[in-house]
Every structure is written in C-alpha cells, then in structure tokens.
C-alpha cells in the first residue's frame, strides 16, 4: 500500500467535508442532522466516519463524548457539546482514551494462579474455568466462615454490578479507596456542618464566583474537566484566586495571592481567617443568624487564633492573612473556600475541611450564587429484585469501636481486618477487587500484601495487569469502556442529566464486560434473581423507559438533560432546614461533641521532619489518572515518568541538579525506585513533591514498569483520622540517596 | 486572508490536551508530536511567575523552511499556512536545520512532518483539533486580515508576543500575555 498516497487521499477526502457525521454544535438538535433523520443504518453504512456515544472512564469525572471511527477503524474521541461535565471538550486523558483500547499490554484472557501468591505464575483459563474456581471458593467461604467474610473493593463504572452481587451473596463489606484514602473527610465534614455532602462533580459555583480559595487543590493539574473550565472562566472574569500551597502550582500561578504555607499547618490559617472574619465583623450577619448554630461558641473558641498567632505556625504574614480574609468578605457571598477532593493528609482532616466549611457558612456562600449551588440529580429507577439477605456482621464490625462517624466502609479498615488478630470480630477471607490497584491506592503496601497472604480467594477484575492482578488467584480481564455498554451515568449538577455508554468496538482479545461477568457469577452462585436482565441492553432499556427515553434515543443523543427539580440557590429570606441535629448549619457540631471530638476545630501541631529530611507531598498531573494511565501509549508520551521537585537551596546542599536520578529514602528506611530531579523555585525548602501513580512494579506494563517512583511505597506510615478513619498520608519524610545503581 | 493562531497564556494550564488531540486527529505516529508544551518559571521563591505555552509550527510569513527546501515540498498554502507536500519531500532535513522553532521532524515513512493548522478541518469550516479540544479555550484560530475575527479582536485588545522574533521569520502564532 502506498502510504504517502494514502495520506494525500485522506486530506482530499476530508476536504470534501459533507461526508462525515460531524459532531459539533449542529449536533445539539439530535433528531435530525443536516435535515435528515439519523438512523442506525446510516451510521453503519457510512464508510467515512461513525460515531458512538460514550462517557469517559479514564477518570471519575465521566465526561460524555463521541467515539469516532474512520473506515471502520478507531480514530478519535471528542466531547459531547450537550454535556455539562465537558461542554464538548475532553481533557487530555479523555482525548487519549483510545490508548486504553490499543494498549498491547492489556489483560487478554482469564488467568488462574498456579504457583504461590505474588510469584505471578498463572495459566490461561477459559471463562467457565475461572467462574467455576471463584464459585467454588465463594461457596466454601460462605459455608465455613459466613458470607460476611467476603469483601469487595471497587472503583469505576462496573463496580455497581459486583456490589449487587456481593450484597446478594450476603455481605456489605464493600469499600472504595476513594473514601478512606481520598475524599471521606470532606464528605463527613460537610455532612456534619450542612447535613449534606459536596458530591461529584462538586456543587461549587466556580464559574460565578468572585473569590476562590484553594487549599492544596491544584486545579489544572488535577484535570477535573468541568471544574478546570469554570476555574479559567472565573479567573478570566477577574475573580480573586487565593491559593494556599507549599508549591507554586499551576493554579497558584493564576492566583492573585499565593500563600506558600508551611505544610501541615493549613488548619491554623483557616482558624486565623475565621478569627479575622469574626473580629472584624466581616461575616454575613443575617445569614449567620438565620441559618447557623453555635456562633457564640465559635467566636469564643477562635478568639486566640489571631493572625499573629498563626504567623509562626504557618509562616504566612499577619497582614497577608488579614488582607486575604478581607478579599473573601468583599466577594461574599460569591466566595468559595474550596472543600478539596483528596483531603486525607494529616489525620485531622475532617476537622480541617470542617474549618473551611465553617468559613463558607460565615461568608454565607452555601446556597448562594458564586458559592455553593444546590445540585439536582436525575431519579432513574432500577429494576426490582429480591431483598438482600441481612448480614450478621457488617463493615463496622471490621473495626469495632473505632471511627464512629464513618459513613462508608474503610478500604484500609477491611484490609486490616483481613490480617487475623485476637481483637477483631470479623476476619475477611475473600476479596473481589474491581478496577482498583490496591497496592498503589492503599498506603502501606507491605500491610496490604500481608493481608493478601491470609486470603482464601482473591479475584482481580481489571483491564490492565497491575500490581494487584499479580497477587490474585484469578484474574478476569475486562474489556475497555470503548468496547462495552455500562450502566447509565446519572450525575448531579446544575442540570440533572443521564448519559449512555455504548460499545464503539468489539472487545479485543478474550475480554468481557463486567456486567456479563457479574451475571455469569450470579448464575453459578444461585443469585440470578438479583439480575433480572441477563443482557445489559434490556436492563438499560428498562431504566431509560422509566424516564421517557430509550436506548435508540440515547444512541443518538449521548446525553439527555432532564428538567431541573429545585432552585440552584437559596431564595431570599426563605427558611431552610438542614439535615443536622439542630436543623441549622452547625458551626458547633453536637454530633462531634457527643462522640468525644472537638465540636469546633482546634489546631494541633504535627510532627516535623528532622534535619536532612523533607515532607513528602504528592499530587496529580493533568495527563494521568493515578497509576491507571501511565502505560496508556498516548498518555505515556505526554508524561512517561514523574520527577521529584526540590527547592534550589536544598539541591545545592545536596549537590543535586535537575536531570539527576536519585532515590528517596523515608523515615522507615523504605527506599524508592530511582526518580528524576527537578530543581525548582516552585517549592518550599521543607518538602518535596512528586506526581502519584508512577514507578509501577508490574513488569507486564512494559512502558511504565519502573519508570519514575511510587509515592505509595514511601507512605509506610499514616495518621488515621479518629472521626472517620481516613488515612492521612502526608506524614512521611524522605531524604536523598544519590547512588542509583 | 491570513490564518494565524493566538494562544492565551493566562488560560493555558499546560494539560497537553492539544498534543494528544493533534496526535489522534492527524494520526501522528507514536513517539512524535506536532505540538508540545513549554513551562517557563520566572523569578525566585516566593516571587514567581509561570508562563505556560502550547507551541507548534509558527507558519511564518517569511519561512526559512520554504526558502531552503530544494524540491519545493515545503510551500505556502491558502492563508499563508506552511505545508509539506509529502510526495515531493526527499527527507533531506534542510528545513529541520533552518527552523528556529524546532517544529519539524522526519516521519517514520520518510518525509518531513509538522503542524498543518489542521488545514483539512479548516477547509471544512472547523478549527484545528487543538483549538477545539482545549478545555480552557486558550487558543484562537482565524483570519487576521478580517478585522472582525476573534483573533483580530484578541490581538487588538490584549498584549501579545511571538517567539524568537529576532529570527525575522514573521511567525503567525501569537502568545497573549
């Protein structure tokens, strides 16, 4: 084939224009395109370009878009203009989503372990063999220990089917690292204060805000699409951005104020801001009086938290603390103290996030334009199935008398409960791990491996081989989101919406969708009644019919926005009841008091690094979703390894320069893989920073194997939040080792 | 008509979406890219500035690459877009040596390749793929000869610069400051 000619042909054909099913703003009116009805036949017969609706699975933002094929071959993925998550523009990860499909390192067929765990010696198995193996073990665990001794760890769209399966089986030990290792403290802090959470996508009205305060949130580096878009909009509209971060993040570079705070002291700054807002009477008096509870107690409690008190703790000068507090008040109520997302930092995280929630309440931003809006969510009924059996033991029994205010199971707690001990009532014997690489997502990987050694069954369901699949007894290869239907995306936002994911391609290799796997397992376990529809298309049809749509319609639309059910903002002067014990926004939390915790956040100092050690901070890069994408051929090219950011003064002391490879050694003598140095003024002298998700130890990921270093390995120590069990992970200190051989 | 691009450094977060969108749109082979991100830090802690730029071929009006091409493969298309005719390219790399922006590379199939301003899309009335994908709307493409185009308006109302102006090539990618 003459390749050069081919390329010219391509340009010529493309130049003709009208042949393709162009997806642009003209697609807003879905029923007809170019004045003609859009039929399925037409899509299939088009030789130039075909489009299939999807919502992205590369991160949890789940933007809806269109997968394009050209001459039957995968071409590109673009955003759906009707979708509020993306507004028609995918982020680099979504745009690079095709790499997940084309990656030659994907899991290809079911595997059954043949040698001892972790040695990674497997044999290829048929789906029947794999399911029989799992069924047999699950039946034995049920008989011997009870169904409560099975646990599910999950992340991603297909997790729901396995949740249904495991509940039907008789266990509610269902955990996601996104709670105890990520946003759990935020959920509980806002629940305690406002009686409801922030949700995802967050209900922050960033596009209308006049002042945005980011505390460690590096928007732009964490590429939560719609949020980044709103951030840019606000910035360009002249909103004041105040960024609190030991690192000059991308967001900091767009900010009017960058407060390079000493790490671990954010709560002191928040309390000082509260102090200024109260002492200078800058708070929204009417709002505070009408909607909040415990103002006098708060005023008293923060009396001593003056900017002068906070200065030596945070290193932020008193006049800067005052000035920024006044900026917030001037913008109120169109002001957002951003609640953050990954907030498990120091172990007092619920209290820190709560301090921000309290500040938002004082400024009257909850329920106000430019503050926090009231999101709407579509109600889409699911088909009925028999009631789940009631487990005799629940996830709370995995950690008795601890973390009283945890509202979701703790993945770290379930992991701990798998290690036999004399005190724990429940010892877990089997894990199903769906779409989460627990070795990297949980801190203290040694502990995770110790837990795994005590299991009688470990099933890993994934697309890529990862550290966790290496430890599994059975590996079930899932096809990518581009090769399957999935449950509807039902998301909250300013407008409630549903989105469809339909398969653009046939599954490659011997891979299968999660729904099919769950149905097959349910059949073998005698639980078919819990999956009333064997085919996911029929299940989707049922759900769509209930909201007046259909699979056919959704294949044309991709996204359907539904009518708004409530006002976005509080109505002036209206009474509102909050789902808290007092029915008000709780500046003083009765629930915390009853459980023996500080009802109003109190600053306590955290341990600091010894001489020659630096606090290990970690974060995100816009082109990767944790460790899930580092092997994606398209995204690997954008960033193939992480670097350790080191302040020039520190680098000089150690005679380290940009481009050097070093190793990091933590306080427990854990040594990292080698990592490239980035000497930069953009970080303080008392900490170092690296992007999470690199340094894979799984050889089968041929691109990303040992590229960069894995921060999780260096997180051998955590400070657990006593309120809800979140694992504070920014409590590890590292030093440098220059020998890398 | 004169096509040009303006890239807003205030909006750009350096996510590299433009890079991957270009790669999929234009089927750029693995290991190559037609556009890329540059981050420049200015100042010392804590008085810092960060400039993030999405860079590519500048589609210069006085292009050394066109001038030095022995076969005429590098040429101007409508609107001043600089293109390489793959059939006429002999892969001699003279253009690569002459480009002050390092915007060109040898495609594994033997010809020199680079940004085309997605001329195949532009001819359909669309923007280049990088412009349409950018989540922060940091890029504007259009005709600078049309006073009413978005890009003309942006260049009238905002401060801007070009890269390596001293090379004298009259680049047509502008960076809004």
Q: Mind listing the domains of chain A with CATH numbers?
A: 111-180+395-480+506-549 (3.40.50.740), 184-375+578-594 (3.40.228.10), 614-737 (2.40.40.20)
Per-residue model confidence as pLDDT tens digits over A357-372: 999 999 999 999 999 9
Contact B133 A89 (CB under 8 A): yes
Q: List chain A residues with CB under 8 Å of B158.
A: none
Binning pLDDT at 50, 70 and 90, where does residue A93 land?
A: very high
Residue A20 has a pLDDT of 33
* Contact partners, residue B68, CB within 8 Å, separation at least 6: B94, B95, B97, B98
Q: What is the distance, to the nearest Å, from the Cα of residue A723 to the centroid of all Cα atoms in its chain? A: 21
- Give the gap in angstroms from C-alpha B61 to the nearest C-alpha of chain A: 23
Residue A422 binned pLDDT confidence (cut-offs 50, 70, 90): low
Taking CB atoms and an 8 Å cut-off, how many pairs form between chains A and B? 139
How many CB atoms are located within 10 Å of the residue B160 CB? 15
Minimal Cβ distance to B24: which of A98, A228, A680: A98
Burial of A684 per CB tally in 10 Å (0-12, 13-18, 19+): buried
Kindly state the DSSP code that residue A409 receives in the 8-state scheme: B
Question: What average pLDDT score do residues A262-268 get?
Answer: 98
A107 Cβ neighbours under 8 A, 6+ residues apart = A462, A463, A464, A465, A469, A475, A477, A478, A509, A511
CA distance linking residue B88 with residue A527, whole number of Å? 66
Interface residues on B facing A, Cβ-Cβ cutoff 8 A:
10-11, 13-17, 19-21, 23-25, 30-31, 33, 41, 43-46, 48-50, 52, 86-87, 109, 111, 119-121, 123-126, 129, 132-138
The two three-digit tokens of residue B94, written as one number: 């003279």
How far apart are alpha carbons B176 and B140 in whole angstroms? Answer: 10
Residue A25 above 70 pLDDT?
no
Q: Which residues of B touch A258 (CB under 8 A)?
A: 46, 48
Q: Look at B25 and A89 and tell me if their CB atoms are within 8 Å.
A: no
Chain B residue closest to A89 (CA)? B133
Higher pLDDT, A416 or A647: A647
In this predicted complex, what is the ipTM?
Answer: 0.95
**Alpha-carbon gap: B168 to the closest alpha carbon of chain A (Å):** 31
Average pLDDT score over residue span A370-383: 93
Q: What average pLDDT does the segment A116-133 reach?
A: 94
Instruction: Quote the pLDDT of residue A579.
Output: 95
Q: Which of B13, B87, B132 sits opposite A220 (nearest CB)?
A: B13
How many angstroms separate the CA atoms of A467 and A698, rounded?
5
How far apart CA A49 and CA A514 sit, in angstroms, is 28
d(CA A657, CA A669): 23
Across A165-182, average pLDDT: 94
pLDDT band at A136 (very low <50, low <70, confident <90, very high): very high
- Does the structure show a pLDDT above 90 at A71? no
| Residue-level pLDDT at A8 | 28
> Is B160 a residue whose pLDDT tops 70?
yes
Segment A568-620, tens digit of pLDDT? 999 887 889 999 999 999 999 999 999 999 999 999 999 999 999 999 999 99
Contact present, A696 and A712 (Cβ < 8 Å): no
Which value, in Å, is the radius of gyration of the alpha carbons in chain B? Answer: 16
Q: Which residue of B has its CA nearest to A78?
A: B133
Q: What is the pLDDT of residue A13?
A: 31
Mutation pick from A95, A214, A218 vs chain B, by most beta carbons of B within 10 Å, is A95
Cβ-Cβ contacts under 8 Å, B13 against chain A: 220-221, 223, 228, 232, 250, 254, 622
Tell me: pLDDT of A38 over 90. Answer: no
Contacts of residue B81 in chain A, CB cutoff 8 Å?
none
- Percent pLDDT > 90 in chain A is 83
Search chain B and give the residue with CA nearest A67. B24
Higher pLDDT: A428 or A19? It is A428
pLDDT at A685 over 50: yes
Domain boundaries, chain B: 3-176
Candidates A77, A232, A619, A703, partner chain B, best to mutate (most B CBs within 10 A)? A232
* Separation between Cα atoms, residue A535 and residue A517, nearest integer Å: 11
pLDDT of residue A423: 58
- Which pLDDT belongs to residue A22? 33
Q: Which of A134, A149, A103 is nearest to A475 (CA)?
A: A134
- Please provide the average confidence, as pLDDT, over all residues in chain B: 97
Closest chain B CA to residue A94: B17
Segment A270-305, tens digit of pLDDT: 999 999 999 999 999 999 999 999 999 999 999 999
CB distance A236–B43 less than 8 Å? no
- Return the HEC string of chain B: CCEEEEEECCCCCCCCHHHHHHHHHCCCCCCCCCEEEEEEEEEECCEEEEEEEEEECCCCCCCHHHHHCCCCCEEECHHHCEEECCCCCCCCCHHHHHCCCCCCEECCCCCEECCCCCHHHHCCCCCCHHHHHCCCCCEEEEECCCCCCHHHHHHHHCCEECCCHHHCCCCCEEEEC
pTM to 2 decimal places: 0.92
pLDDT, average across residues B26-49: 96
Chain B: nearest CA to A683, how far in angstroms? 8
Is pLDDT larger for residue A11 or for residue A458? A458
Of A117, A163, A1, A97, which is closest to residue A522 (Cα–Cα)?
A163
Arithmetic mean of pLDDT, A379-396: 92
| pLDDT greater than 50 at residue A9 | no
**Residue A421 pLDDT:** 73
Q: How far is the alpha carbon of B33 from chain A, nearest alpha carbon, in Å?
A: 9
Q: Mention every residue, 6+ apart, whose C-beta is less than 8 A from residue B126.
A: A22, A24, B118, B132
Minimum-distance CB partner of A250 among B13, B24, B111: B13
Q: Is B126's CB within 8 Å of A15's CB?
A: no
Confidence of residue A409 (pLDDT cuts 50, 70, 90): confident
In A120-253, the DSSP E strands lie at 122-124, 150-154, 174-175, 211-215, 240-244
Smallest CA–CA distance from B134 into chain A, residue = A89
- Min Cα–Cα distance to chain A from B59, Å: 19
pLDDT at A558 over 60: yes
Is the pLDDT at A33 greater than 60? The verdict is no
For residue A19, the model assigns a pLDDT of 33
Share of chain A above pLDDT 70, in %: 93
Residues A543, A381 contacting (CB under 8 angstroms): yes
Binary contact (B13, A622; C-beta < 8 A): yes
3-state secondary structure of A352: helix
* pLDDT reading at B176 higher than 60: yes
CATH number for the B3-176 domain, one of 3.30.70.20, 3.40.50.80, 3.30.2350.10, 3.40.50.2020?
3.30.70.20
Q: Is A186 helix (H, G, I), strand (E, B) or coil?
A: helix
- Cβ proximity of A277 and A362 under 8 Å: yes
pLDDT tens-digit series, residues A184-234: 999 999 999 999 999 999 999 999 999 999 999 999 999 999 999 999 999
Residues of B in contact with A24 (CB under 8 A): 126
Distances (CA, A) of A312 to A268, A306, A315, B47: 10, 11, 5, 20
How distant, in Å, are the alpha carbons of A31, A181, A250, A416, A420 from that of A443? 50, 8, 26, 12, 19
Mutation target among A252, A253, A633 for the B interface, most CBs of B within 10 A:
A253
Q: With cut-offs at 50, 70 and 90, classify the pLDDT of residue A424.
A: low
A24 against A375, higher pLDDT: A375
pLDDT of residue A426: 58
pLDDT value at position A739? 79
**Average confidence (pLDDT) over B120-146:** 97
Amino acid A425: pLDDT: 54
Residue A247 has pLDDT above 80, yes or no: yes
């Amino acid at each position: 084939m003459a390749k050069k000619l081919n390329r010219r042909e391509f340009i010529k054909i493309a130049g003709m224009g009208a042949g393709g099913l162009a997806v642009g703003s003209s697609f807003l009116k879905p029923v007809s395109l170019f004045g003609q009805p859009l039929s399925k036949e037409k899509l299939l017969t088009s030789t130039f370009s075909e489009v299939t609706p999807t919502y992205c699975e590369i991160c949890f933002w789940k933007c809806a878009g269109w997968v394009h094929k050209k001459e039957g071959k995968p071409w590109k993925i673009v955003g759906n203009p009707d979708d509020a998550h993306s507004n028609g523009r995918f982020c680099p990860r979504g745009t690079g989503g095709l790499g997940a499909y084309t990656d030659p390192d994907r899991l290809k067929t079911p595997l059954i372990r043949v040698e001892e765990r972790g040695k990674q010696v497997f044999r290829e198995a048929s789906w029947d063999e794999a399911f029989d193996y799992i069924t047999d073990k699950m039946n034995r665990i049920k008989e011997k220990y009870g169904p409560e001794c099975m646990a599910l760890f999950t992340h991603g769209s297909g997790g729901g089917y396995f949740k249904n399966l495991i509940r039907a089986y008789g266990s509610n030990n269902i955990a996601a690292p996104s709670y105890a290792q990520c946003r759990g403290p935020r959920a509980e802090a806002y629940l305690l204060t406002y009686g409801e959470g922030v949700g995802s996508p967050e209900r922050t009205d960033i596009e209308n805000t006049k002042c945005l305060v980011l505390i460690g949130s590096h928007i732009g580096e964490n590429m939560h699409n719609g949020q980044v878009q709103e951030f840019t909009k606000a910035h360009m509209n002249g909103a004041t951005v105040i960024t609190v971060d030991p690192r000059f993040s991308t967001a900091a570079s767009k900010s009017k104020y960058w407060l390079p705070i000493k790490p671990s002291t954010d709560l002191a700054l928040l309390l000082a801001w509260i102090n200024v807002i109260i002492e200078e009477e800058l708070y929204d008096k009417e709002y505070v009086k009408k909607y909040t509870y415990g103002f006098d107690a708060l005023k008293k409690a923060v009396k001593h938290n003056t900017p002068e008190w906070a200065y030596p703790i945070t290193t932020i000068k008193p006049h800067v603390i005052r000035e920024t507090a006044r900026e917030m008040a001037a913008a109120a109520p169109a002001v957002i103290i951003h609640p953050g997302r990954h907030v498990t930092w120091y172990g007092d995280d619920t209290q820190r996030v709560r301090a921000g929630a309290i500040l938002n309440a004082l400024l009257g931003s909850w329920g106000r334009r430019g503050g926090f809006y009231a999101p709407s969510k579509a109600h889409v009924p699911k088909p009925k199935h028999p009631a789940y059996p009631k487990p005799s033991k629940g996830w709370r029994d995995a950690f008795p008398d601890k973390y009283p205010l945890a509202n979701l199971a703790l993945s770290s707690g379930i992991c701990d409960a798998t290690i036999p001990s004399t005190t724990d009532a429940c010892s877990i014997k089997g894990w199903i791990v769906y779409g989460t690489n627990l070795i990297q997502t949980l801190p203290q990987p040694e502990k995770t491996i110790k837990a795994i050694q005590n299991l009688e069954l470990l099933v890993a369901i994934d697309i890529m081989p990862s550290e966790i699949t290496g430890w599994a007894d059975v590996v079930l290869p899932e096809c990518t989101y581009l090769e399957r239907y999935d449950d509807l995306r039902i998301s909250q936002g300013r407008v409630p919406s549903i989105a469809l994911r339909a398969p653009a391609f046939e599954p490659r290799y011997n891979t299968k969708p999660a729904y099919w796997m769950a149905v097959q397992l349910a059949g073998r376990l005698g639980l078919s009644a819990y999956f009333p529809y064997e085919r996911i298309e029929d299940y989707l049809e049922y759900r769509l019919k209930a909201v007046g749509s259909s699979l056919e319609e959704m294949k044309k639309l991709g996204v359907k926005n539904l009518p708004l059910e409530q006002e976005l903002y509080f109505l002036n002067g209206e009474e509102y009841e909050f789902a808290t014990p007092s029915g008000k926004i709780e500046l003083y939390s009765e629930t915390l008091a009853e459980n023996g915790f500080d009802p109003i956040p109190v600053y306590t100092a955290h341990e600091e690094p010894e001489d020659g050690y630096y606090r290990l901070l970690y974060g995100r890069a816009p082109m990767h979703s944790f460790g899930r994408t580092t092997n994606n051929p398209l995204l690997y090219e954008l960033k193939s390894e992480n670097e350790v950011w080191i302040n020039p003064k520190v680098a000089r002391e150690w005679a380290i320069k940009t481009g050097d490879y070093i190793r990091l050694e933590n306080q427990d003598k854990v040594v990292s893989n080698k990592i490239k140095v980035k000497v930069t003024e953009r970080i303080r002298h008392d900490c170092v920073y690296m992007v999470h998700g690199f340094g894979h130890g799984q050889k089968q990921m041929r691109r990303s194997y040992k590229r960069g270093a894995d921060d999780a390995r260096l997180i051998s120590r955590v400070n657990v939040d006593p309120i809800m069990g979140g694992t504070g992970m920014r409590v590890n200190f590292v030093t440098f080792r220059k020998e890398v051989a | 008509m004169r096509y040009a691009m303006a890239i807003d450094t205030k909006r750009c977060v350096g996510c590299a979406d433009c890079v991957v969108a270009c790669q999929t749109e234009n089927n750029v082979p693995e290991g190559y890219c037609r556009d890329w991100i540059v981050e420049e830090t200015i100042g010392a802690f804590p008085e810092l500035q960060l400039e993030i730029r999405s860079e590519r071929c500048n589609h210069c009006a006085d292009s050394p690459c066109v001038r030095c091409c022995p076969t005429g493969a590098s040429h101007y298309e409508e609107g001043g877009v600089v293109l390489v005719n793959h059939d006429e390219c002999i892969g001699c790399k003279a253009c690569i040596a002459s480009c002050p922006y390092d915007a060109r590379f040898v495609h594994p199939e033997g010809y020199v390749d680079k940004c085309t301003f997605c001329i195949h899309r532009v001819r359909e009335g669309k923007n280049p793929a990088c412009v349409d994908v950018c989540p922060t709307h940091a890029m504007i493409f259009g005709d600078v000869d049309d006073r009413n185009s978005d890009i003309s308006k942006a260049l009238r109302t905002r401060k801007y610069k070009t890269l390596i102006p001293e090379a004298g090539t009259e680049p047509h990618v502008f960076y809004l400051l």
